[in-house]
Chains A and B, each alone.
Chain A
């Protein structure tokens, strides 16, 4: 009956237009809020929000952000996993390099104070806060169509169990990038530790409400897939919403502990600022 009524209401162009427009203002659990300043509860330290979104479990998002933007990712219910890639916006051949990120900083783990380094000896983003105690992973990357098909029966983006790489491909394609522009990614909110013998141990989630804040140190293209960690041993595809909030804050200033923590970090910031300055960017 309802179906028949809807068909009648949309049987003309005017009716179809009215029907579509009547959806305005509808709310879903996972959606962007535009303008972002309409987000109901911005963090108190945020200026005007420029990106406010809840990403569904099994979903993805992408955005270009300016140098100095802070991006807070929050695991709302404890089963988010934010698989992240960063490219310099407009110069995508400079991109996240996970090997340099762990090697240059002499540490395999991500956490507050660490830098996400590009392959050009420069900083892409700083990790300025982390309430999870480092439940993140820079080693295992994301899931693939083949792997999710083996584990869950499907990994296609339209399936109930989408693979991270498939979603990151879509996000990349929307920025003019191709699958071969996707290097190994990092992920937040599901931890992995390396044992003494080299074995990898999944440590899982910190729990609901954990958050990290990244600060963009260059103009960036941000690609995020919110899918289960590839080492998550649970048979079910369990993926819950991820909150993304971003606001303009300014790049890490001279004297900041993040940049003075190590000689490697100090040189990474100096390289970044000099490369920007020679392009006329402060």
Chain B
């Protein structure tokens, strides 16, 4: 069982630069607020049980439990063992993606062409940030994309379209257990997930936990 060190206190705000990775342990009962500073930034997000990282965010379990592909206030992020990891307590944007996963250098070659190979991508952010906590490639699964807009048409057609976010919109999550959060502030420049222009986001952890 792989566990990460749970710090006593890691409170306050930090600005994650455009294209960068970030991670933190959020203790049970604490809140994490993600603020979209520039607007239309996609924030790729994974969350693990800090005491057993084999228990991690499951998009399928989260969708099953809620009966919808979109997340908003009240949505509970469930693990692959169907246990609650975090709950959305506030959402001023209203549209977030659970289907599209992370961009990678490899999938970019399929989506756009091999000319994108030298560009930075979210999977690389997840790998390098995850490695700091003992996580590897086998620990990466389908993630949430906060602020990314992925509608599904009647015939199943699905795609990333222009976002609905704006500067200052935010999402707040309450940790239901001690969790490790991994974030990639999406560097994608080939689709409208971030308006073709990656911008910084702010991460704020509040509360003393319980």
In the complex with contacts A103-B107, A120-B106, A199-B137 CB distance below 8 A: no
- Whether B142 pairs with A200 at a CB distance below 8 angstroms is no
- Whether A184 pairs with B59 at a CB distance below 8 angstroms is yes
- Whether A200 pairs with B63 at a CB distance below 8 angstroms is yes
A200-B70 Cα distance, complex, nearest whole Å: 10
In the complex with contacts A141-B58, A146-B83, A268-B110 CB distance below 8 A: yes
- Whether A194 pairs with B141 at a CB distance below 8 angstroms is no
Indicate if B152 sits at the interface (CB-CB under 8 A): yes
A244-B123 Cα distance, complex, nearest whole Å: 35
Residue on B with the closest CB to A267? Answer: B110
Indicate if B157 sits at the interface (CB-CB under 8 A): yes
In the complex with contacts A99-B99, A144-B81, A196-B154, A104-B107 CB distance below 8 A: yes
- Whether B109 pairs with A267 at a CB distance below 8 angstroms is yes
In the complex with contacts A139-B69, A141-B60, A199-B68, A99-B156 CB distance below 8 A: no
A122-B106 Cα distance, complex, nearest whole Å: 8
User: How many residues of A are in contact with the other chain, CB < 8 A?
Assistant: 47
A230-B62 Cα distance, complex, nearest whole Å: 12
- Whether A108 pairs with B68 at a CB distance below 8 angstroms is no
Indicate if A93 sits at the interface (CB-CB under 8 A): yes
Contact for A180 among B54, B59, B60, B101, CB less than 8 A: B54
Taken residue by residue from 103 to 140, chain B's Cβ proximity to chain A (1 for < 8 Å, 0 otherwise) reads as 01111111101100000000100000000000001111
Indicate if A250 sits at the interface (CB-CB under 8 A): no
Chain B, interface SS category: loop
Contact for A140 among B54, B60, B107, CB less than 8 A: B60
Q: Which of A149-204 contact B (CB under 8 A)?
A: 165, 178-185, 194, 196-200
Residue on B with the closest CB to A87? Answer: B138
Min distance, Cβ B49 to any Cβ of chain A, angstroms? 12
- Whether A97 pairs with B63 at a CB distance below 8 angstroms is no
- Whether A100 pairs with B82 at a CB distance below 8 angstroms is no
- Whether A139 pairs with B104 at a CB distance below 8 angstroms is no
- Whether B156 pairs with A200 at a CB distance below 8 angstroms is no
- Whether B101 pairs with A264 at a CB distance below 8 angstroms is no
Min distance, Cβ B155 to any Cβ of chain A, angstroms? 8
Min distance, Cβ A105 to any Cβ of chain B, angstroms? 9
Q: Which of A204-243 contact B (CB under 8 A)?
A: 230-231
Contact for B158 among A92, A107, A181, A267, CB less than 8 A: A107
- Whether B58 pairs with A184 at a CB distance below 8 angstroms is yes
A221-B17 Cα distance, complex, nearest whole Å: 40
- Whether A200 pairs with B100 at a CB distance below 8 angstroms is no
A196 contact set on B, CB distance < 8 A: 154
> Which of B64, B80, B104 has its CB near the most chain A CB atoms (within 10 A)?
B64
Indicate if B159 sits at the interface (CB-CB under 8 A): yes
Indicate if B61 sits at the interface (CB-CB under 8 A): yes
Indicate if B47 sits at the interface (CB-CB under 8 A): no
A267 contact set on B, CB distance < 8 A: 109-110, 113-114
Residue on B with the closest CB to A134? Answer: B156
In the complex with contacts A108-B156, A146-B83, A194-B110 CB distance below 8 A: no
Indicate if A271 sits at the interface (CB-CB under 8 A): yes
- Whether B158 pairs with A99 at a CB distance below 8 angstroms is no
- Whether A183 pairs with B157 at a CB distance below 8 angstroms is no
Given A140-B63, A194-B69, 12 new contacts (CB under 8 A): A93-B138, A97-B107, A99-B59, A108-B157, A119-B107, A121-B109, A122-B106, A147-B82, A165-B81, A197-B68, A200-B69, A268-B110
- B interface, CB within 8 angstroms of A: 53-54, 56, 58-61, 63-64, 67-70, 80-83, 99-102, 104-111, 113-114, 123, 137-143, 150-152, 154-160
A-B contact pairs, 13 of them (CB 8 A): A97-B101, A97-B107, A98-B59, A99-B143, A100-B104, A103-B99, A141-B59, A141-B64, A142-B60, A180-B54, A185-B60, A267-B114, A271-B106
